[in-house]
Amino acid sequence: MVNFIWEDIIKSKEKETQIGSVLKENFLFAELSKKELRFIEKIVHVRKYRPGETIFRQGEIGVGMYIIIHGIVDIFQERQAPEAEDVERVLITTLHEGTFFGELSLVEDNGKRSATACAKEEAVLVGFFKPDLLEVLDRNPVMGVKITFRLAEILGQRLRATTEKVSQLRNHIQNNGEAGSSAGGK
């Protein structure tokens, strides 16, 4: 009986250490002190997902972000094909350990998820939700500002990358359109 108690305590400490390491390595929390990280460890949510289990669905109201501790997560969009009854899944990306996703929901009011996230294999995720961020801002404004600035930096980087990708696609479409009209005019 005593061994079971000690095993639970040891496993609990190992789990906290693992969560602390994941948080420290995450861009959003990397600037926090050890004391601040311990506070975040106490308010985040850890959950295990089975292979194929949905984390969130496209169109749902987003409530927070996730960090992958272990496993692989697929992000895809679901589209209804005009002639088909089935929903088509278009893979956007596959995410691995240490990666985070869904952070836009920390700053949006009732923003809907733009894609679906699904565990490709058994996955353990840390959830950091909008009420958690609001609690941090309320209880420790300095730490809240650190996190919020990092969040703004992340969103800015992703917006720049998206803008660059849209520009590349626009140029590609324009170049192919011009090449097609030139070929057709000869």
pLDDT of residue 177: 74
- Residue 124: CB atoms within 10 Å: 19
pLDDT tens-digit map of 28-76: 999 999 999 999 999 999 999 999 999 999 999 999 999 999 999 999 9
Q: Is the pLDDT of residue 10 over 50?
A: no
pLDDT of residue 9: 40
Residue 110 confidence class, pLDDT cut points 50, 70, 90: confident
Q: Is the pLDDT of residue 7 over 50?
A: no
Q: Take residue 60 and report the two structure tokens written for it.
A: 């749902």
pLDDT of residue 79: 86
Q: Is the pLDDT of residue 4 over 70?
A: no
pLDDT tens-digit map of 143-181: 999 999 999 999 999 899 889 989 998 998 988 877 655
- Residue 37: CB atoms within 10 Å: 18
50: nearest Cα among 126, 102, 115, 125:
125
pLDDT of residue 44: 95
Report percent pLDDT > 90 for the chain. Answer: 68
- Report d(CA 121, CA 152) in Å as an integer: 31
Vertex 179: Cα angle to 173 and 182 (nearest 5): 140
Provide the whole-model pTM.
Answer: 0.78
pLDDT of residue 131: 95
Q: Take residue 91 and report the two structure tokens written for it.
A: 């893979």
CB 67 within 8 A of CB 132: no
What are the sequence ranges of the domains in the chain? 2-132+140-166
* CATH 3.40.50.920 assigned to 2-132+140-166: no
pLDDT of residue 176: 87
